[in-house]
Amino acid sequence: MAESLKNIYTSAYIKKLANSIQSEYPKFDSVAFIKAVFNESWDSFELKQRMHHISYCLHQHLPVIYTKQIKILLNVCSQFKGYAALFFPDFVEQYGQDDFKNSIAALEIFTEHSSSEFAVRPFLIRYEKDMLQQHLLWVKHPNEHVRRLASEGVRPRLPWAAALPAFKSNPKKILPIYIQLLNDPSVYVRKSVANGLNDISKDHPELIHELLIKNKKTSAPTYALLKHACRTLLKKGDTKVLDYFGIKHQSEIKVLQFTLDKKRITIGDYVCFNAEIIHQESSTQRLRLAYNVYYKKANGELAPKLFHIGEYEVKPKQSIKVTRKKQMIDYTTRKHYKGQHKVGLVVNGKELTTVDFELH
């Protein structure tokens, strides 16, 4: 079994942190700090709780003003990298919201070693105008981690992060940030931009349509970014988005076969289907194949979930055969219920046919 992520904070890690701070601030009581971190509640803390707790203990054992605390942390942060070091920006989020200038400068440095994407969000809510200007400065930063912060920090639907309702309802405020990063040389940054635009597409598809119109001629990396940004709209069969990516939503397609290996499936088993379609147009076209699994809900209704298969360049009268399987297993995010389910074949955003199966 994989080691739980919350165990990244080992005694050796906390001791290294304590010694590093003591070297910068000799009055720091490293022994008391370590004891405070590993208190009687430590074992019950999950990952985020442990991260917040470390921030709290640092604040308690650095009895100096906030600006001096930040200076000490800035001098040691380069020794700690990755997800584990999120307590540095968390410290700013928890204790620095009244000091905009020093806090934002610190978050810019902390993100180069870890990520400040969560910590900037309370500042965006409290200092919206100033923070949007700051993000527009960050898009020009030479460090890709800072440029990614410019994008990731304003995401309307950033997972596991505080909500930004102002940007969710009016993403026009943050679009200039994403537009300036469309051609960023870093794959790391472009992926973040695509995710942010995908967030926007879920509530304001018309803004994505406008963006596509303005980027009809673009480089291959930007084209790939835009396609990843439109993944939700592509799944929904948005005709404007399909057209942009050369997928004709009114193609003449005939289903030659769509069958299941078996129609009675036990929970934990796989639903397996075989499909064959033929392209009946007179010219070569791009087809986007997917399938819906209609899961039965607790109230007995069926709810579809779409799964992508692939895209194919097909010639006139050319057929395509695909085989797929999906395990019907319970997860923390999905519980299966016995009874009738179905699978649907989707081509270019349209469901062409379905077939039923029984889950028991």
What count of residues does the chain have? 360
Amino acid at 96: G
Outline where DSSP puts E strands in 175-269.
Answer: 253-260, 264-265
Report pLDDT for 3. 57
Instruction: Tell me how far apart the alpha carbons of residues 117 and 119 are, in angstroms, rounded to a whole number.
Output: 6
Report pLDDT for 5. 83
- Listing DSSP states for 263-323 in one string gives SEE-TTSEEEEEEEEEE-SSS-EEEEEEEEEEEEPTTS-EEEEEEEEEEEEE-TT-EEEEE
Report pLDDT for 1. 37
* Residue ranges per structural domain of the chain: 5-244, 253-359
Instruction: Tell me how far apart the alpha carbons of residues 73 and 102 are, in angstroms, rounded to a whole number.
Output: 12
Angle, CA of 7, 8 and 11, to the nearest 5°: 80
Q: Kindly report the CATH number that applies to the domain delimited by 5-244.
A: 1.25.40.290
Q: Please return the burial class of 306, using the count of CB atoms within 10 Å of its CB with bins 0-12, 13-18 and 19+.
A: middle
Q: What is the pLDDT along the chain (360 residues), one digit of tens a residue?
A: 345 788 999 999 999 999 999 999 999 999 999 999 999 999 999 999 999 999 999 999 999 999 999 999 999 999 999 999 999 999 999 999 999 999 999 999 999 999 999 999 999 999 999 999 999 999 999 999 999 999 999 999 999 898 899 999 999 999 999 999 999 999 999 999 999 999 999 999 999 999 999 998 899 999 999 999 999 999 888 999 999 998 887 778 999 999 999 999 999 999 999 999 998 888 888 999 999 999 999 899 999 999 999 999 999 889 999 999 999 988 877 889 999 999 999 999 899 999 999 998
Q: Please return the burial class of 315, using the count of CB atoms within 10 Å of its CB with bins 0-12, 13-18 and 19+.
A: exposed
Contact predicate 338/294, CB 8 Å: no
Q: What is the DSSP letter of 4?
A: P
Question: What is the edge-to-edge ordering of all strands in the sheet holding 253-260?
Answer: 253-260, 270-279, 319-327
Share of the chain residues as helix, strand and coil, in percent rounded to the nearest 5: 50, 20, 30
Contact predicate 112/143, CB 8 Å: yes
Note if the pTM is more than 0.85. Answer: yes
**Domain 253-359 belongs to what architecture?**
Sandwich (2.60)
Instruction: Tell me how far apart the alpha carbons of residues 348 and 333 are, in angstroms, rounded to a whole number.
Output: 28
Q: At a CB cut-off of 8 Å and minimum separation 6, what does 256 contact?
A: 276, 277, 278, 319
Question: What is the edge-to-edge ordering of all strands in the sheet holding 302-314?
Answer: 264-265, 350-359, 339-347, 285-296, 302-314
Instruction: Tell me how far apart the alpha carbons of residues 8 and 114 are, in angstroms, rounded to a whole number.
Output: 14
Buried b (16+ CB within 10 A) or exposed e, 155-192: bbbbeeeeebeebbeebebbbebbebbbebebeebbbb
Contact predicate 328/334, CB 8 Å: no
Instruction: Tell me how far apart the alpha carbons of residues 152 and 192 are, in angstroms, rounded to a whole number.
Output: 6
Report pLDDT for 333. 77
